[in-house]
Amino acid sequence: MAKSASKLEWCIVRLGEDHNWWVEEVSDPVRWDVDGLSIIDPRQLQHIVDLVEPMRDYGFDQDVMEAAFILFRIEKDLGSGRVRLVRVKESLFDSEDKLFALPDLLDDENGPYADFLDHITRVRVKMLNDLFDFEQQVSVDEVEDEIREARNVDFMEGKAVHVFGEVTEILDYIPAGWESEDGEEGGRPAAKEDELDDAELPALDESEEEKLKNDQSLKWDEDDEEAEGDEQGKEGAAGKEGAAGKGDDEEEGDESEEDVDEDEHPRRRSDRGRS
In a 3-state reduction of DSSP, which class is residue 160?
Answer: coil
What is the pLDDT confidence band of residue 154, given thresholds at 50, 70 and 90?
Answer: confident
The whole-number pLDDT of residue 165 equals 94
User: What gap in Å lies between CA 34 and CA 75, rounded to an integer?
Assistant: 19
What is the pLDDT confidence band of residue 140, given thresholds at 50, 70 and 90?
Answer: very high
pTM: 0.63
Phi, psi of 103 (to 5 degrees): -70, 140
Least confident span in 26-35, 174-183, 201-210: 201-210
The whole-number pLDDT of residue 264 equals 44
**Across residues 241-263, what is the average pLDDT?**
49
Can you give the residue ranges of every domain in the chain?
A: 3-171, 216-274
**Across residues 233-252, what is the average pLDDT?**
52
Number of residues written out for the chain: 275
* Residues in contact with 74: Cβ distance below 8 Å, sequence separation at least 6, in sequence order: 83, 84, 85, 98, 100
183 or 190: which carries more pLDDT confidence? 183
The whole-number pLDDT of residue 135 equals 84
The whole-number pLDDT of residue 40 equals 98
Residue (of 56, 48, 66) closest to 126 by Cα position: 56
Residue 19 contacts residue 91 (beta carbons within 8 Å)? no
Percent of the chain with pLDDT over 70: 63
Average of per-residue pLDDT values in the chain: 76
* Amino acid symbol at 208: E
The tens digit of pLDDT for each residue in 56-68 reads 999 999 999 999 9
**Across residues 5-20, what is the average pLDDT?**
89
* Residues in contact with 121: Cβ distance below 8 Å, sequence separation at least 6, in sequence order: 140, 143, 144, 170
User: What gap in Å lies between CA 192 and CA 194, rounded to an integer?
Assistant: 5
The tens digit of pLDDT for each residue in 95-114 reads 889 999 999 998 877 899 99
- Which of the listed ranges 75-84, 99-108, 174-183, 187-196 does the model predict with the highest average pLDDT? 75-84
Q: In degrees, to the nearest 5, what angle opens at C-alpha 151 toward C-alphas 149 and 156?
A: 95
Local structure of residue 203 (DSSP, 8 states) = P
* Residues in contact with 31: Cβ distance below 8 Å, sequence separation at least 6, in sequence order: 4, 7, 106
* Residues in contact with 111: Cβ distance below 8 Å, sequence separation at least 6, in sequence order: 2, 4, 104, 105
**Across residues 117-137, what is the average pLDDT?**
92
196 or 59: which carries more pLDDT confidence? 59
Q: Give 99's Cβ-side CA count (13 Å radius).
A: 24
Residue 139 contacts residue 122 (beta carbons within 8 Å)? no
**Across residues 130-134, what is the average pLDDT?**
87
